[in-house]
Amino acid sequence: MGLVSPPQKSFRNSRPLRPKTFVLYLETELDLLRVTFGLPDSESVPKEVCFSPIDRGTCHGVEKRFAYNPETRRCQMFHYSGCGGNRNNFPDRKKCFKKCIGRKAFVIINTNNNNTRVSMGLRSET
């Protein structure tokens, strides 16, 4: 009934108890490249821009804008007053998506019958 095998002195002849698949989602394709090749962080969109709170500003106007909401991991519409606020403020959902979400990278590690396959790719969030 247990899923844990006894301790091994060597892993040479060991087998997984059952096939396993692990999926690791990364924030951007650059994260995947950093993991794979050790590339430095991108300077194009500082993380603090997208993780700044939604701020409608200090004036009295009503403009339809979009901001990234880290709690929901989505770009959401809000009404911008026309002045003040912060840089987490995009004219449309597409620009917000491109700057703060973009394409997410994934790594799939599948272990089956002493073979390990690693797959990497990109998916778009809609």
Question: Cβ(23)–Cβ(36) under 8 Å?
Answer: no
| Spans of all domains in the chain | 20-124
What's the pLDDT at 37? 40
46-103 per-position pLDDT tens digit: 678 888 999 999 999 999 999 999 888 889 999 999 999 999 999 999 889 888 877 5
What's the pLDDT at 53? 93
Secondary-structure class of domain 20-124 per CATH: few secondary structures
Q: Which class for 102: exposed (0-12), middle (13-18), buried (19 or more C-beta within 10 A)?
A: middle
What's the pLDDT at 54? 94
- Encode burial over 29-54: b for 16+ CB neighbours within 10 A, e otherwise: bbbbbbeeeeeeeeeeeeeebbebeb
